[in-house]
Amino acid sequence: MTNTYDILNTPLSLPCGAVIKNRFMKSAMSEILGTPAYGPSKELATLYGTWAQGGTGLLITGNVMIDPTALGEPKNVVIEDERHLGALSRWATAGTKNGAHIWVQLNHPGKQSPRNLSRQPVAPSAIGFESALKNFFATPKALEENEIQELIQKFARSAGIVKKAGFTGVQIHAAHGYLVSQFLSPLHNRRADAWGGSIENRMRFVMEIYRAIRQEVGPDFPVGIKLNSADFLRGGFTEEDAAEVVAALAHEGIDLVEMSGGTYEAPAMTGSRRSQSGEEAYFMGFARKIRKNVQVPLVVTGGFRTSEAMASALAGGEIDMVGLARPLVVDPDLPSKILSGQEYRSSVKPLTTGIKLIDRLAMLEITWYENQIGRIGRGNKTRPNENVWVSLIKMATRGGMEQFRRRRA
């Protein structure tokens, strides 16, 4: 018997030849479940095993750092050499249960590394934040040419280890205002050399990272990217820039492009800017524009909440996969529910304490979801109705008031 949601159950073949069993992609969510030595904890294996059993075709890990001197958050996992290969392999094995793919999202935070983690962050140019964020992030040092080359090699080395550990792909994090996104943005990248200026120059860093990774992992291993449709900042990375980057990466053979948007300064990724058309998924308008010109597998993440919107975005041929983050925390087996023919509406809704300052300082959404992610990692059920104050108090007792200084996206 067929059901309306069969389209979500159709396998997807990627340019490299890999096949994803269905059209559900779990987007990256930082788990903050790394060990004190920056290895993966056993909770990560339990967490991804649960998601794999829940029917998702492609699981993208939370951002994993390529350099221990540049962390985005405390308890990040870092892959710089093979010291954690055993634990990484156990994580990969859990995430490939039930025919799922698991790809590692590789990231470098650039200037978005908080003061308590980096006294001297690096960036394309030595430009600090102007807004209240400058209290949390130090002014970065501009990268030298040889340091840029080293970072490109670090991305490639990490990707090689990811493959060796048994993960089935990698995703370059080029969105949300981190280092790759800083290179793409004319606001953050004021370089006058080959790495700045025109969009061809600003995209050189990401293109070189892609080429170095491809060289390392070979033609058959999936390499994807998460890219901003725009930064939503005056003078920043625009949709036109993004379209050029997608076309260039597609030409070079990228396997999957995930579209998001925003930075720490304008956090559009979690819905601070709803799409003007009122569509459930905020970046669908941009996907339609891209689709007209480029044939590359596309995913949109941000805002999908109903089985109907997911199926109709795929049926319209505008995207190839549906990216989901918060709904999969509340319902780790959401894909299985939909694929059994159930009409689905996620119970995810904006969270607030009612006090704006606290919501902002504590990054309420992030804190609440991290807390639920931790529950799944410990083998517990999520508590979709848990009061937001509970997650705030847990955060403060676990990490002390210092936690309130943390910033991420």
Ligand X SMILES: Cc1cc2nc3c(=O)[nH]c(=O)nc-3n(C[C@H](O)[C@H](O)[C@H](O)COP(=O)(O)O)c2cc1C
Q: Is 319 in the site for ligand X (CB under 6 A)?
A: no
Under rule CB under 6 A, which residues in 64-93 are in contact with ligand X? none
Q: Give whichever of 175 and 339 is closer to ligand X, judged by the CB atom.
A: 175
Report the residue number, 189 or 228, with the smaller CB distance to ligand X. 228
* Binding of residue 257 to ligand X (CB under 6 A): no
What tokens does 332 get? 């780790």
Residue 346 is classified by DSSP as: -
Least gap, CB of 340 to ligand X (angstroms):
21
Q: Candidates 94, 324, 334, 392: give the one binding ligand X (CB under 6 A).
A: 324
Residues 111-170 that bind ligand X (CB under 6 A): none
Return the residues of window 171-210 that contact ligand X according to CB under 6 A. 173, 175-176
Question: Angle between the 388-399 and 364-377 helix axes, to the nearest 10 degrees?
Answer: 80
3-class DSSP state for residue 320? Answer: coil
Nearer to ligand X, 148 or 366 (CB): 366
From the list 112, 121, 119, the residue with the least C-alpha distance to 72 is: 112
Residue pair 287/318 in contact (Cβ under 8 Å)? The answer is: yes
CA-based R_g, the chain, Å: 20
Phi, psi of 306, rounded to the nearest 5 degrees = -125, 150
Q: What angle do CA 153, 218, 251 make, to 5 degrees?
A: 85
- Binder of ligand X out of 62, 110, 222, 374 (CB under 6 A): 62
> Are residues 8 and 342 in contact, defined by beta-carbon separation less than 8 angstroms?
no
- Compute the distance between CA of residue 299 and CA of residue 318 in angstroms, rounded to an integer: 9
Give the pairing of strands 12-13 and 19-20.
antiparallel
Task: Restricting to residues 374-393, name those near ligand X by CB under 6 A.
Answer: none
- Give the count of residues interacting with ligand X (CB under 6 A): 26
Residue from the set 49, 124, 303, 377 that interacts with ligand X by CB under 6 A: 303
Question: In this structure, are residues 59 and 323 in contact, taking their beta carbons and an 8 Å threshold?
Answer: no
Task: Report if residue 224 touches ligand X, rule: CB under 6 A.
Answer: no
- Residue 229 touching ligand X (CB under 6 A): no
In 229-317, at which residue ranges do the beta strands (DSSP E only) sit?
256-260, 298-301
Query: Which range touches ligand X (CB under 6 A), out of 49-57, 76-84, 321-329, 352-360?
Result: 321-329
On whether the CB atoms of residues 166 and 89 are closer than 8 A, the answer is yes
* 28 lies in the site for ligand X, by CB under 6 A: yes
Q: How far is the CB of 30 from ligand X (least distance, A)?
A: 4
DSSP for 202-229? HTHHHHHHHHHHHHHH-TTS-EEEEEES
Residue 60 forms beta bridges with which residues?
103
Q: Does 359 bind ligand X (CB under 6 A)?
A: no
Span interacting with ligand X, options 92-100, 121-129, 201-209, 320-328, rule CB under 6 A: 320-328
Closest to ligand X by CB, 23 or 173: 173
CB of 348 to ligand X, least distance (A): 7
- Of 320 and 370, the one with the shorter C-beta distance to ligand X is 370
Nearer to ligand X, 71 or 325 (CB): 325
Residues that bind ligand X (CB under 6 A): 27-30, 62-63, 105, 173, 175-176, 226, 260, 269-270, 301-304, 324-327, 365-366, 369-370
